[in-house]
Structure 1
Amino acid sequence: MSRSSRRTVVPVLLVLTVVAGVGLFYFQPWKAFTDTTVDEALPGVMAPASNGEPATRDTARVSGGESSAKDTGPVDLAEGRFVSHEHDTSGTARTVRLADGSQVLRIEDLKSSQGPDVRVYLSMRDPAAVEAGLGDGDVELGKLKGNLGNQNYTVPAGTDLSRFRSAVIWCERFAVSFGAAGLAPAKG
């Protein structure tokens, strides 16, 4: 190889290496082939079921927005099923008031894709509108813990959950919704 050829080839190879490195960092293509499963229990103390067995979500769950002095378990406030947007996404989302008064967004049976910088949001827009963007007044609850399973996200204290119409799996890097669940008042 002549000296002038090396002067051209070396810089081109360096530029290609830098571009490939930036592309790998930015797109993280390996995430299309990997899964992260999370299986968190709903926070709080669960009473045993009437048959003496440990409680399941159904036996410890109280539906409706009202609670009494006897309620010591979680209270469902709103719930909905995920619909797919940019990626196939399924599962349910529900907002829950815990016995201590704190609130969480609980995502159950989630099946979605992984991606770079995926986060969980509450949005004032309905799921169809979220496909075009989150809108004003959204609340970020944190990075998506896993693309499969059951997980909890703490809602900031003082947040009025009745204002939010959907829970959203949002890719921050590409500003797209993977999927969203409408939040309708829980049936009691």
Structure 2
Amino acid sequence: MARTGKVRRSRWWWGIGAGAVLAVAVVLGLIFQPWLLFVDVRVQDEIPAAVVPSAAASSPAPVSPAEETVEPVTPAPPAGPVDLLAGTFISHEHATTGTARVIENPDGSRQLALVGLETSNGPDVHVWLSAGPVVEGTDGWFTAGGYDHIDLGPIKGNLGDQLYDIPADVDLSVFRSVDLWCVQFGVSFGAAALA
């Protein structure tokens, strides 16, 4: 009879141990979300083509001495979107390729375009405009976290072309890099310096 009680208690402890291992596995799965590494989300936003101002439109016509009293001609606004800044992504914790473009629309609004983006999917990845430098190698994985940033929102997908609105009050002379920042783990997937 005593032996049967020991066997039951032993099985009971094995059941508790197996349940605890299962609970830990579920919690870790919810935190790390490893299935995202096997799921791609492709985005195909329509990226506006930049208009290149022509030399004739940007320089005023020559004026004869008799016409010098005529008020100067104000150049017309561009007929379409203009690229203000651009950069190429480098990899940080995850292999990342593609380009970033800051586009100014004819109405003065600005957008960040991620063109041909390829990176890993991950939990809680956001698109940041950062005041920090883009640093290559493992040191760059954490750089953006120590600088001011503007969070443009969660990444729409890990593949393709996508657009994000830039608030009107953002000073692009301060925020000169784009970072794909995993908020949950405080690490950069990839970044692009804007020039």
Question: Aligning the two structures, in what range does the TM-score lie when normalised by the shorter sequence?
Answer: 0.7 to 0.9
* 1:27 aligned residue: 32
Alignment of 1:126 with 2:133, yes or no, is yes
Runs of 4+ in 1 over 6 A off after TM superposition: none
CA distance in structure 2 between the aligned counterparts of 1:168 and 1:136, rounded to whole angstroms: 11
Of 18, 21, 26, the residue aligned with 1:16 is 21
* Secondary structure at 1:161 match in 2: coil
Partner residue in 2 for 1:61: 51
CA deviation vs aligned residue, 1:31-51 (integer Å, no higher than 9, x gap): 2122111010136xxxxxxxx
Question: How do 1:28-107 residues align onto structure 2 when only pairs under 5 Å count?
Answer: 28-42=33-47, 57=49, 60-62=50-52, 68-107=75-114
Q: What count of residue pairs does the alignment treat as equivalent?
A: 167
- Give the 3 Å change call, closer, same or farther, for CA 27–164 of structure 1 in structure 2: same
Of 153, 161, 167 in structure 2, the residue corresponding to residue 156 of structure 1 is: 167
Any conservation in 1 of the 2:134–2:143 contact (CA below 8 Å)? no
Once residues 6 and 143 of structure 1 are traced to their aligned partners in structure 2, the CA distance between those partners, rounded to angstroms, is 47
* Unaligned 5+ runs, structure 2: 59-73
What is the aligned counterpart of 2:179 among 149, 160, 168? Answer: 168
Q: Quick one: distance in 1 between partners of 2:47 and 2:180? A: 19
Calculate the TM-score normalised by the size of structure 1. Answer: 0.81
How far the C-alpha of 1:72 sits from its partner, in A, is 3.5
Kindly provide the amino acid, as one letter, of the partner of residue 83 in structure 1.
I
For normalisation by structure 2, the TM-score amounts to: 0.78
Judge conservation of contact 1:126–1:182 (CA < 8 Å) in 2: yes
Q: CA RMSD in A?
A: 2.1
Matches of 1:109 and 1:61 in 2, distance apart?
20
Percent sequence identity over matched residues? 45
Letter in 1 for 2:142: A
Q: Is the 8 A contact 1:133 1:175 kept in 2?
A: no
Q: Distance in 1 between matches of 2:149 and 2:134?
A: 13
Larger Rg: 1 or 2?
Answer: 2
- Equivalent residue, structure 2, for 1:180: 191
Change (3 A) 1:125 1:68: farther
Aligned position for 1:140: 151
1:65-121 deviation per Cα after TM superposition (whole angstroms, max 9, x unaligned)? x99534241121110100111111111001111222221111000111111111110
5+ residue gaps, structure 1:
44-56
Supply the distance in 2 between the matched residues of 1:167 and 1:70 (Cα, whole angstroms): 27
